[in-house]
Structure 1
Amino acid sequence: MYFPTILASAIALAGAASAAVVPTHRYVQLRLWGEPSCATLNLGEEGIYGDQVAQCNPLDENDVVRSVSVERVDAGCTLYIYSDLQCHLDKHEVPTETCLSGDKYYRSYQLFCDV
């Protein structure tokens, strides 16, 4: 009498568990720095995933980002960094394995990919 209920619960739980482990593709790997020249005050790494493509995203709301080093960008993708939160001011294209550093703070990014 309880077998159908237990079986249905087990199937639902297995489906939820398998959906939770599906990895999201990381298009970009970058590191944020609190000082210019990507040399000191490492604020940590950040990945840019599929749900962040073609929209304006904040870099870090808690820290002051003074430079950004890009460790990896997927082929066909272009990363832009901005000094405001609306992705309008001081647009910089950031190639792979470079350090973006300047006088202003970096606040947001946009990633565009040919997909």
Structure 2
Amino acid sequence: MHFVTIAASAVALAGAASAAAVPTHRYAQLRLWGGQECATLNLGEEGIYGDQLAMCNPLDVYDTVRSVRLEAADAGCTLYIYSDLQCHLGKHEVPVTACLSGDKEYRSYELFCDV
């Protein structure tokens, strides 16, 4: 009888711990494009969650990203896109609903929010 209670408690605790580790609030959403001007080769969307704020993050695609559209962002959030993986080169601020398109590929981003 005690084994069943202990096992049920362990399962409930593990479920609560895994649910707490999953980020739930999406601060921003990007749409990535392999072509220029956010018009061709849609590579999909990328959500930015609380555990990704104020840090350098790689763009999660295997293809070359040539343009980016910031589809949505919480008020007080600013997105920067970079042409390297360390968030040092080619820094560009991307306004909401604007398309960032250039000659170089984009490889990483940082999102800063007033939270």
Q: What TM-score comes out, normalization by structure 2 length?
A: 0.90
Q: Where does the alignment leave 5 or more consecutive residues of structure 2 unmatched?
A: none
Equivalences for 1:14-93 in 2 at 5 Å? 14-22=12-20, 24=23, 25-60=25-60, 62-93=62-93
Select between 72-81 and 55-64 the one with higher mean Cα deviation.
55-64
Identity of aligned residues (%): 68
Structure 1 residue ranges, 4+ long, deviating more than 6 angstroms after superposition? none
Select between 22-31 and 93-102 the one with higher mean Cα deviation.
22-31
Q: 2-side partners of 1:61 and 1:89: how far apart?
A: 19
The Cα RMSD (Å) is: 1.4
Q: 2-side partners of 1:55 and 1:21: how far apart?
A: 23
Tell me the matched-pair count.
113
Higher-Rg structure is 1
User: SS of the residue aligned with 1:27?
Assistant: strand
Q: Where does the alignment leave 5 or more consecutive residues of structure 1 unmatched?
A: none
Q: 2-side partners of 1:102 and 1:90: how far apart?
A: 10
User: SS of the residue aligned with 2:86?
Assistant: coil
Q: 1-side partners of 2:26 and 2:87: how far apart?
A: 21
Q: Quote the offset at 1:54 in angstroms.
A: 0.9
